[in-house]
Amino acid sequence: MRSFKSSVLVFILHLLEGALGNSLIQLNNNGYEGIVFAIDPNVPEDETLIQKIKDMVTEASPYLFEATEKRFYFKNVAILIPTNWKTKPEYAKPKLETYKNADVVVTEPNPPDNDGPYTEQMGNCGEKGEKIYFTPDFLAGKKLLQYGPQGRAFVHEWAHLRWGVFNEYNSDQKFYLSNKQKKPVICSAGITGQNKVQQCQGGSCVTRSCKSDRVTGLYEKDCEFILDPDQTEKASIMYAQSIPSVVEFCKEKNHNKEAPNDQNRKCNLRSTWEVIQDSEDFKKTTPMTTQPPKPTFSLLQIGQRIVCLVLDKSGSMTIGDRLKRLNQAGKLFLLQTVEQGSWVGMVAFDSAAYVKSELVQINSAAERNTLTQRLPTAASGGTSICSGLRSAFTVISKRYPTDGAEIVLLTDGEDNTISSCFAEVRQSGSIIHTVALGPSAAQELEELSKMTGGLQTYASDQAENNGLIDAFGALSSGNGDVSQHSIQLESRGLTLQNNQWLNGTVVVDSTVGRDTLFLVTWTAAPPQILLWDPSGKKQDGFSVDTTNKMASLQVPGTAKVGIWKYSLQASSQTLTLTVTSRASSATVPPVTVTSKVNKDTGKFPSPMTVYAKIHQGTLPILRAEVTALIESENGKTVTLELLDNGAGADAIKGDGIYSRYFTAYDTNGRYSVKVWALGGLSTSTQKVKPQPHGAMYIRGWIENGEVKWNPPRPEVNEDDLQGKQVCFSRTSSGGSFVASNVPRAPIPDLFPPCKITDLKATVQGYHLINLTWTAPGDDYDHGRADKYIIAISRNILDLRDKFNDSLQVNTTDLIPKEANTEEVFVFKPEGIAFTNGTDLFIAIQAVDKTNLKSEISNIAQVSLFIPPEAPPEIPKPSVPCPDIQVNSTIPGIHIFKIMWKWLGELELSVPF
């Protein structure tokens, strides 16, 4: 255990800035340490699962070591055991490890039997993934025939997670044409196999060779490439790590650049190994000369939540009613956000620190109300953040170790001594969530969140944006039990004049409704508050706190499902409305929205990427209306529509992850991110597309010359994923980021159009090529590009490396559309031979009005296939049937068969 804890401290000291998540993984002397496995609380208790995880990692480590030319291995792993499993003496208390920052999640399959391992990837080529998912049955070895040994599959997923590479197979297109030949989508080309079809009818199945499709020239739809049993090829792990001979990643020399797979499409035809070589991991390591040690494991079990509020009450908190707003947000956290059973303490600070409450366990409304009365009510003095943190450590350590405890630190003031307690923060093992209030909060504040894996947020002085309440509302537990988490349904604000009304609706869907709270705040005088439930019944009983300028209504029991209507009336002041709830059932997962940005710091002119993940359990919610609000320190708010269209910033279409680039910088400093989501389509548990970033499902193997088929993997057509309409409303804090290098206004246009990533090409007739893609914008995926450059070549690498020298298509009549709309362009290749069997490669570059150019698009391929003429049909005779002569030297039955074949369907009566 000691070695594991010290390695976590090493991680803290060398934390990688800008990672997509709060992963604790650190590469130390070629060994990956700080890896966190988390077993979902819904997984039935099974101690053998822990050993299966250990076995998989132990098996994977030497395989990874050899595959990376002796550069990397797995050094240590922490396994988070659910709170609802039995406690054991060997289970230690976590330090910084939580379900939120887990790298690998073990969860039940959804739908049932969907046990394929996969990795959640939001970013582009070379960007780290989010999490790896395994199921208990996979870890137990029940899917060996479909995915191969668990350790090998883990290395496949690790490459997705750590280095941002993609699959080298294609479940949707298993064959392609090249030089008039039908080829399987494989990497490397040395992999051998047979093209087979399994046909089943009435309970019996037959295996036969694949037939060619006369229209496309490819094999028929159900054709499968079945791997030969005896392979000698060593690559590639990102194609099929389950092949015994495969022990390497594809390199430049053996990478199949023509194969239509995600690795080529997203990584500009680069091999997996080339992408790995470009990673920070590779650049800071050299091959080892000795064999690595076996991995070590720590077993951790999360207990009760321990959290201490550390709240700034310095003199600057009187500005803009900040102290009142602190009390409003603090009350939301204490009354609603923090979970039942948690231990909560409170410290206030100015030039010194003051204990407002020792740790108190939340068992009822009484403890919650008592804690709200301890919130600071007067502001004065200077700002000593370290005093507040040290006092919080003392409060916590009186009852529990500080390892794994959470501190919520809010401050609005500058403090140039904050770095003096960094070493104590690291040593404490506490997780620190930071809330920066206003433009003058200490610039080093975010470092506390980065070094401890906490959430960093920013709230401006614009009360109508409700940023402070959103920040506190986002601080739910990291214990993995989503049924206990507070879920924000609504967060709105508006400045009203002359008895104006703020009217709106909130949807309480069937997955939430327990502990529903309506919270109204104001800046001057109490407003008129009207609220009706879905049946039209007016709701009374708001508890009014005139001192802190807020009113709240706790809905008893479970709130009615449907549309709740509200009307708020006031004059010359700002009102906000916040609605929170919890899951209505412990067994049915609620619809959740989690949002984030791709990095903690944005350096102009590099864009930020905003993500919102909308799921119910592991099932994606499709076609939701998702809007992000990004607010700068200047008070300017930019609205972005986030999209799940597989273009621009969005990696995969239809995965329930909505994305968009942000380029509208207006100043240096902090920016807050908030997401609204409304309604969508819930996919049926029986109709879920296979995860795009996972190990290949092996359809069958050849044994003793015969195909041994695995059960078919359910494949769902895009049109079948209609699902059912789900009405819901959610808001989510996406944290904050800090922008730098933003020039003074007017800010120059340095943003090119984004790369086109979904270019597709088909042959139309025998002479035309039809192109489709999603339009980029003037600035990444915003606005409208000025023009397109389309180039074609017979050589795929010439097109990639010498795009400007390649043959260009006349695009005079091609006027770009608004970003994120579908483009269609049909052209006839000129200046290049396009005859039967010709392979052409096509790419696009978008250009904006200042002549900034996008990256070259993914390269699309077309192969002209002209079907051979069908043989002429033999006409049926129209003459009367001739007499049949029996040759005595030939058995009459033979003559009869010959004549029958010639006469077709005419009836014969032949005496023998």
Distances (CA, A) of 23 to 5, 83, 244, 298: 15, 21, 32, 17
The residue behind tokens 């090119």 is 752
Look at strands 573-583 and 512-522 and give their pairing. Answer: antiparallel
Return the axis-axis angle of helices 150-163 and 48-67, rounded to nearest 10°.
Answer: 70
Q: How many CB atoms lie within 10 A of CB 816?
A: 22
First to last CA, the chain: 95
Report how far residue 330's alpha carbon sits from residue 469's, in angstroms, rounded to the nearest whole number: 8
Classify 585 as helix, strand or coil. Answer: coil
Write the single-letter amino acid at 295.
P
Alpha helices (H) in 751-826, listed in sequence order: 796-801
Answer for the pair 76, 35: CB distance below 8 angstroms, yes or no: yes
Answer for the pair 757, 645: CB distance below 8 angstroms, yes or no: no
Report how far residue 734's alpha carbon sits from residue 641's, in angstroms, rounded to the nearest whole number: 15
The DSSP letter of residue 78 is E
Report how far residue 177's alpha carbon sits from residue 840's, in angstroms, rounded to the nearest whole number: 11
Active site residues: 157
DSSP secondary structure letters along 500-567: EEEEEEEEE-TTEEEEEEEEEEESSSPPEEEEE-TTSPBP--PEEETTTTEEEEEPPSBPPSEEEEEE
Tokens standing for residue 153: 């599959």
Distances (CA, A) of 753 to 244, 605, 606, 644, 731: 44, 13, 12, 19, 30
Contacts of 330 (CB under 8 A, 6+ apart): 309, 311, 372, 375, 472
The residue behind tokens 């922008």 is 739
417: region left, alpha or beta (phi > 0 left; psi from -120 to 50 alpha)? alpha
Tokens standing for residue 145: 């025939």
Look at strands 657-662 and 860-863 and give their pairing. Answer: unpaired
The DSSP letter of residue 317 is G
Contacts of 309 (CB under 8 A, 6+ apart): 330, 333, 344, 345, 346, 347, 407, 408, 410
